[in-house]
């Protein structure tokens, strides 16, 4: 065989030339990451070297075709043998040398070239002889597995392309890869531009590829969809983009923001066309590793697949909470705050700038605005370049003026949305109920105008003009659930009173200057006793329920005893509490009739049972019982020898010792004894000894004295109580005499000392209860259900009248969007919390600041600042902002008047609105949006979607507005739906979706 016949088709150069060229390449070629080198069997290479050194083309040492057979385990798989050693089993030649040798000598048929890559291993560059061997399969067919080898320097994208080719997946399909480790755990390969080495992909792992479903979901994470059957969901074909979002629990704020962004055409088309895949930025330290962008893309593709009534954005919600802890959990949040985070997160995840350079910002220093603006925008784009910047970013001019040296600082700053203030009224309309001292006058509802930053005293002054009652004789209280939620001081701010609070203003008696006796402001609650003991509370007392409207009345301290209070309360409730007729029998029943019922109406003060009272009273010292049951004068001795009068309580209800102090200081205290203020108590006083210490001027005539009667079990219990309260008086008193005094009238109600919640508290000292009050005492009158039914007129108690001020319709405040924009560009002084550092004065100054619009983006987001937070007030402004649906013209607002040729116009059309209903502490978010394909407006309320008319969109709930510049708006590609014309838009649900949606409220 001749030399020529031994060679490949390419005519090789001379042997000396071959030797010189290959040796030069081997000597000069350096290892560079990613370069290819080739493995050549050592024996063949040594024979080639011997051949070229002979210089004889006909030498018997001719090597023949390149043959690596000795390097393979078998010739079927062509797997390399394990533990091959360089320069013993093989040699490495650079790619250029390999191509020359292959061209000169050819290769044994069927053998693959052993190409290997240079990889950057820790602390060294090395040609990897053994690549990573992985198993490849599709998510849809896990059983069909193939084996492939990849260099550690290869990108994940190269694996994806190899899999698409191996499994005949169209290159246009959107794919994503997962790696399954030897321990069966799976992890997503998010960054397809990452190398195999950086992705920690090693031999033996399985790479699984999935392709996106037609409905926008992924096979590995298809969300649960609300449907009646799989067939219905799979067969559903709706208008793309007209898709609800399930409320996961207070996530309406997120759903509203997503619907507005979903109906922003340039952004949605960017994601639907999968343009984001090429721009995912996994290395940006300010980003979210591409996860927010991918999660958002998944939601958008599902919403615009046209195959869902509603999508469950659970994965997106989880990602948002992971990267923004303020959105963790399921509390209500602000849709604009979520929108701000999302736009910033998408921008950083899709930022085309991989390495941000440091740029020092320069002040204008007298340069022309045009020059400074162009420089600022150019610098901004050098660090920020994404679809978000392309679509939403504009530029405004900021001018700061030092109040001291008058230094003017001008900068141009980018913005993503405009937060414009609403004109705030300095006045506020409040609705209150005025309760007169006249017991027969019904409460009157008034509507008053007060300063928004005013005090409670301003409310009293405004009400005084209508009622002619001096403001000093008014007490303002918030009534909630039949009790006083708060009683306000005159100097408290009105900002702590919400519009929805029920505010009552009570008239109190004028405090005469010559009047020496102190007046006590008493809070009165109404309670109804249940027929059964409240065993569930761990107490043997009867349960009580608050009802009706509480009252505030000032009482002389001397009248703070049960007898006087009973009469006073009867007088105060005269409008709706009927006094018993003389003919009506309200006497206590005798033993024969009441033997089975006597326990039913017994109650105890503070939940202490009768036996406990008896036992505790026996242990009590005289001085203790005097404090509990006697009206002891200030100069009396407490040595146990003083004589006190026992005042029997018909129903065993005692008004415990009221520690009535004023302004928190301890004053002379006059206890309220155990007396029950009824006619029988007064008649009983006449039967008693003369050893009493209280005033006897209120005793009734003798003809009102009850006649002797039989003794009941209840009376026996009262005897025990009286003996316990005052043994020195009752020890020698004859039972017959006392029984004769027992036939008496029954009281309409009993009086009990309570706390501010209307609850009777159990005491802890000496087995009894001592209720201590500071500046505001509370008492309750307890009604037996039968007595309440007979003598308390519930309908009359609830009646009120409306003042003429209520007839004047409240004017709904309306402002124009243009006014809000003008306020945005108005000069303002910086707040103390945010001063500006003046470079001339070398200190922080409260400079004046003015913002002006310089350039506007393609999509302009306008945030209406409805939530106002200041030092003094927190409120939501419900003003109607009238905003145009078409032709919003900013030409008058732009600082730059002369636009060069080709620059966009400044006219905008509305495309979406985020709405907020409710107040500061609660609320619900919805949205209106215009579909880019058919031009129809829709109303999105979580998972419920309905048609909307244009005249429904402008409301006082509008919170965030989305405008699209007219020169970028494309005409709808589909006609408007036909069925909307045949019925009312507000009642039209989309297709048969009504059976699948339940409106979720918060």
* Residue whose token pair is 């495309």: 911
Q: Is the pLDDT of residue 109 over 70?
A: yes
**pLDDT category of residue 632 using cuts at 50, 70 and 90:** very low
User: Ramachandran region of residue 957, left (φ > 0), alpha (ψ -120 to 50) or beta?
Assistant: alpha
Neighbours of 222 (CB within 10 A): 11
Q: Residues 6 or more apart from 935 whose CB is under 8 A from it?
A: 972, 976
Residue 921 to residues 332, 847, 877, 941, Cα–Cα distance (Å): 9, 34, 13, 20
| Lowest-confidence region among 227-241, 439-453, 810-824, 902-916 | 227-241
Q: What integer is the mean pLDDT of 887-904?
A: 75
pLDDT at residue 576 above 80? yes
The pLDDT of residue 531 is: 65
In this prediction, residues 742-755 reach a mean pLDDT of: 76
Which helix (H) or strand (E) element contains residue 907?
Answer: strand 907-917
- pLDDT surpassing 50 at residue 737: no
Q: CA separation (Å) from 228 to 116, 224, 402, 995?
A: 56, 12, 67, 9
Q: Tell me the two tokens of residue 694.
A: 């209280």
Distance between CA atoms of residues 919 and 875, nearest Å = 8
Average pLDDT over residues 141-156: 89
φ/ψ (deg, to 5) at 712: -105, 170
Does residue 984 carry a pLDDT above 60?
Answer: no
pLDDT for res 95: 93
The pLDDT value recorded for residue 713 is 46
Number of H helices, E strands in the chain: 25, 39
pLDDT of residue 696: 36
Exposed / middle / buried, residue 240 (Cβ in 10 Å: 0-12, 13-18, 19+): buried
**What is the spatial distance between Cα 546 and Cα 28, in angstroms, rounded to a whole number?**
98
Say which of 347, 393, 924, 964 is annotated catalytic: 924
Q: Which domains does the chain have, with CATH numbers?
A: 15-120 (3.30.2230.10), 132-211 (3.10.20.90), 244-421+814-965 (3.90.70.10), 426-511+518-533+543-579+747-759+775-812 (3.10.20.90)
pLDDT range class, residue 549, cuts 50, 70, 90: very high
Indicate the pLDDT class of residue 594, thresholds 50, 70 and 90. Answer: very low
Per-residue confidence (pLDDT) for residue 537, from 0 to 100: 44
Average pLDDT over residues 628-640: 37
Active-site annotation holder among 252, 628, 629, 838:
252
Residue 875 is predicted with a pLDDT of 73
- Whether residue 901 has pLDDT greater than 80: no
Other CB atoms within a 10 A radius of the CB of residue 113 amount to 15
Q: Which residue has the higher pLDDT, 947 or 684?
A: 947
- Whether pLDDT at 516 is above 60: yes
* Each residue's pLDDT tens digit, 828-857: 888 888 888 998 888 898 899 999 999 999
Rounded Cα–Cα distance for residues 409 and 840 (Å) = 11
**pLDDT single digits (tens) 58-78:** 888 899 999 999 999 888 878
pLDDT category at 83 given cuts 50, 70, 90 is confident
Q: What pLDDT is attached to residue 870?
A: 61
Residue 763: pLDDT band (50, 70, 90) is very low
SS (H, E, C) 222-237: CCCCCCCCHHHHHHCC
**Is-contact 953 876, C-beta < 8 A?**
no
Tell me phi and psi for residue 671, to 5 degrees: -70, 150
Q: Is the pLDDT of residue 271 over 90?
A: yes
Q: For 352-381, what is each residue's pLDDT tens digit? A: 998 888 888 788 888 898 999 999 999 999
Quote the pLDDT of residue 458: 93
Residue 252 bears catalytic tag: yes
Q: Does pLDDT of 94 surpass 60?
A: yes
Beta-strand pair 483-487/503-507: unpaired
User: pLDDT-derived band of residue 183, with 50, 70 and 90 as boundaries?
Assistant: low
pLDDT 10s digits, 857-866: 999 999 999 9
DSSP for 584-626, written as a single string:
S--BPPPHHHHTTTTTTT---GGG--HHHHHHHHHHS-HHHHH
| Spatial distance between the Cα atoms of 254 and 317, rounded to a whole number of angstroms | 8
209 has a pLDDT exceeding 90: yes
What's the pLDDT at 93?
94
What average pLDDT does the segment 699-725 reach? 42
* 625, pLDDT greater than 80: no
The stretch 281-297 carries a mean pLDDT of 92
* pLDDT above 80 for 157: yes
Cβ neighbours for 289, distance < 8 A, ≥ 6 positions apart: 190, 282, 349
The C-alpha torsion from 869 through 874 and 876 to 881, rounded to 10°, is: -40
DSSP H or E segment with residue 483 = strand 483-487
The answer, yes or no, to whether residue 960 has pLDDT greater than 50, is yes
| Range among 87-101, 680-694, 736-750, 968-982 with highest mean pLDDT value | 87-101
Name the nearest CA neighbour of 240 among 874, 931, 898.
Answer: 931
Q: What is the mean pLDDT of the segment spanning 592-600?
A: 40
Q: What is the pLDDT of residues 777-796, one digit of tens each?
A: 888 999 999 899 989 999 99
Identify the band that residue 774 occupies on the pLDDT scale cut at 50, 70 and 90: low
217 pLDDT band (50/70/90 cuts)? confident
902 backbone dihedrals φ, ψ, rounded to 5°: 90, -10
- Determine the length of the chain: 1002
CA distance 547 to 746: 22
Residue 222's Cα: distance from chain center in Å? 27
Residue 990 pLDDT level (bands cut at 50, 70, 90)? low
pLDDT at site 775:
62
The pLDDT assigned to 599 comes to 39
Mean pLDDT of 994-998: 32
Mean pLDDT computed over every residue of the chain: 78
pLDDT > 80? residue 28: yes
- How far apart CA 634 and CA 68 sit, in angstroms, is 120
Mean pLDDT, residues 3-20 taken together: 69
Residue 924 catalytic? yes
């Amino acid at each position: 065989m001749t030399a020529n016949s031994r060679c490949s088709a390419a005519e090789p150069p001379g042997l000396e030339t071959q030797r010189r060229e290959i040796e030069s390449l081997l000597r000069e070629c350096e290892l560079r990451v990613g370069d290819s080198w080739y493995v050549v069997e050592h024996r063949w290479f040594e024979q080639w070297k011997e051949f070229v050194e002979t210089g004889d083309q006909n030498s018997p040492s001719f090597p023949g075709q390149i043959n690596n057979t000795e390097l393979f385990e078998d010739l079927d798989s062509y797997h390399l043998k394990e533990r091959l050693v360089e320069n013993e089993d093989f040699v490495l030649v650079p790619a250029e040398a390999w191509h020359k040798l292959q061209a000169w000598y050819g290769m044994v048929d069927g053998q693959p070239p052993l190409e290997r890559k240079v990889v950057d291993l820790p602390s060294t560059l090395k040609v990897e002889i053994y690549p990573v061997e992985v198993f490849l399969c599709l998510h849809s067919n896990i059983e069909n597995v193939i084996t492939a080898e990849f260099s550690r320097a290869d990108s994940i994208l190269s694996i994806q392309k190899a899999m698409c080719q191996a499994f005949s997946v169209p290159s246009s399909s959107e794919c994503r890869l997962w790696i399954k480790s030897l321990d069966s755990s799976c992890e997503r390969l998010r960054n397809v531009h990452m190398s195999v080495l950086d992705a920690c992909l090693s031999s033996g792992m399985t790479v699984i590829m999935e392709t996106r479903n037609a409905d926008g979901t992924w096979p590995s994470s298809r969300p649960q969809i609300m449907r009646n059957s799989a067939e219905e969901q799979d067969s559903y074909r709706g208008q793309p983009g007209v898709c609800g979002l399930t409320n996961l629990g207070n996530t309406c704020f997120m759903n509203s923001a997503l619907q507005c962004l979903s109906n922003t055409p340039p952004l949605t088309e960017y994601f639907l066309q999968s343009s984001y895949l090429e721009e995912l930025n996994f290395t940006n330290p300010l980003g979210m590793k591409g996860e927010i962008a991918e999660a958002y893309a998944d939601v958008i593709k599902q919403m615009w697949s046209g195959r869902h009534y509603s999508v469950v954005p659970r994965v997106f919600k989880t990602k948002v909470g992971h990267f923004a802890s303020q959105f963790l959990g399921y509390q209500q949040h602000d849709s604009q705050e979520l929108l701000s985070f999302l736009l910033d997160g998408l921008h950083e995840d899709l930022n085309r700038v991989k390495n941000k350079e440091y740029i020092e910002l320069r002040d204008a220093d007298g340069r022309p605005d045009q020059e400074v603006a162009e420089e600022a925008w150019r610098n901004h784009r050098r660090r920020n370049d994404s679809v978000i910047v392309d679509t939403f970013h504009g530029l405004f001019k900021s001018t700061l003026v030092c109040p001291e040296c008058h230094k003017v600082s001008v900068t141009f700053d980018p913005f993503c949305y405009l937060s414009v203030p609403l004109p705030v009224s300095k006045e506020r309309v409040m609705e209150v109920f005025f309760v007169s001292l006249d017991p027969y006058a019904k409460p009157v509802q008034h509507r008053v105008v007060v300063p928004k930053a005013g005090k409670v005293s301003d409310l009293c002054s405004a009400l005084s003009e209508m009622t002619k009652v001096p403001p000093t004789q008014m007490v303002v209280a918030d009534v909630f659930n039949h009790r006083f939620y708060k009683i306000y001081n005159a100097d408290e701010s009105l900002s702590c009173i919400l519009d929805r609070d029920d505010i009552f203003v009570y008239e109190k008696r004028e405090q005469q200057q010559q009047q020496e006796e102190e007046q006590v402001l008493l809070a009165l609650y109404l309670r109804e006793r249940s027929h059964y003991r409240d065993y569930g509370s761990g107490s043997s007392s009867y349960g009580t329920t608050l009802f009706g409207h509480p009252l505030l009345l000032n009482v002389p301290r001397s009248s703070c005893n049960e007898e006087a209070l009973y009469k006073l309360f009867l007088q105060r409730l005269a409008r709706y509490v009927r006094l018993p007729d003389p003919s009506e029998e309200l006497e206590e029943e005798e033993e024969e009739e009441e033997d089975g019922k006597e326990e039913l109406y017994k109650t105890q003060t503070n939940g202490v049972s009768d036996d406990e009272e008896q036992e505790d009273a026996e242990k009590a010292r005289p001085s203790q019982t005097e404090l509990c049951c006697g009206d002891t004068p200030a100069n009396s001795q407490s040595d146990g020898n003083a004589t006190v009068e026992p005042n029997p309580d018909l129903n065993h209800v005692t008004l415990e010792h009221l520690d009535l102090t004023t302004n928190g200081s301890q004053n002379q205290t006059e206890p309220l004894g155990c007396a029950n203020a009824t006619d029988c108590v007064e008649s009983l006083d006449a039967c008693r000894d003369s050893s009493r210490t209280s005033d006897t001027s209120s005793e009734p005539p003798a003809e009102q004295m009850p006649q002797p009667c039989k003794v009941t079990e209840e009376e026996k219990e009262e005897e025990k109580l009286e003996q316990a309260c005052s043994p020195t008086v009752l020890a020698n008193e004859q039972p017959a005499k006392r029984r004769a005094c027992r036939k008496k009238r029954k009281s309409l109600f009993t009086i009990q000392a309570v706390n501010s919640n209307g609850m009777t508290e159990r005491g802890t000292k000496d087995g009894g209860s001592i209720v201590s009050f500071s500046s505001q005492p509370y008492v309750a009158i307890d009604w037996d259900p039968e007595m309440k039914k007979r003598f308390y007129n519930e309908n009359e108690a609830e009646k009120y009248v409306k003042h003429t001020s209520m007839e004047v319709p409240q004017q709904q405040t309306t402002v124009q969007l243009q006014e809000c924009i003008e306020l945005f560009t108005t000069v303002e002084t910086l707040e103390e919390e945010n001063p500006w550092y003046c470079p001339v004065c070398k200190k922080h100054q409260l400079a004046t600041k003015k913002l002006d619009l310089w350039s506007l983006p393609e999509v302009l987001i306008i945030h209406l600042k409805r939530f106002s937070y200041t030092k003094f007030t927190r409120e939501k402004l419900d003003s109607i902002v009238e905003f145009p649906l078409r032709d919003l013209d900013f030409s008058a607002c732009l600082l730059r008047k002369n636009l060069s040729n080709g620059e966009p116009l400044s006219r905008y059309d509305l495309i979406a609105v985020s709405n907020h209903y409710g107040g500061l502490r609660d609320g619900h978010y919805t949205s209106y949006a215009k579909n880019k394909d058919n031009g129809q407006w829709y109303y999105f309320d979580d998972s419920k979607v309905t048609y909307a008319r244009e005249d429904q969109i402008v409301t006082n709930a509008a919170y965030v507005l989305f405008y699209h510049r007219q020169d970028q708006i494309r005409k709808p590609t589909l006609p408007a739906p036909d069925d909307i014309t045949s019925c009312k838009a507000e009642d039209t649900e989309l297709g048969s979706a009504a059976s699948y949606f339940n409106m979720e409220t918060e």
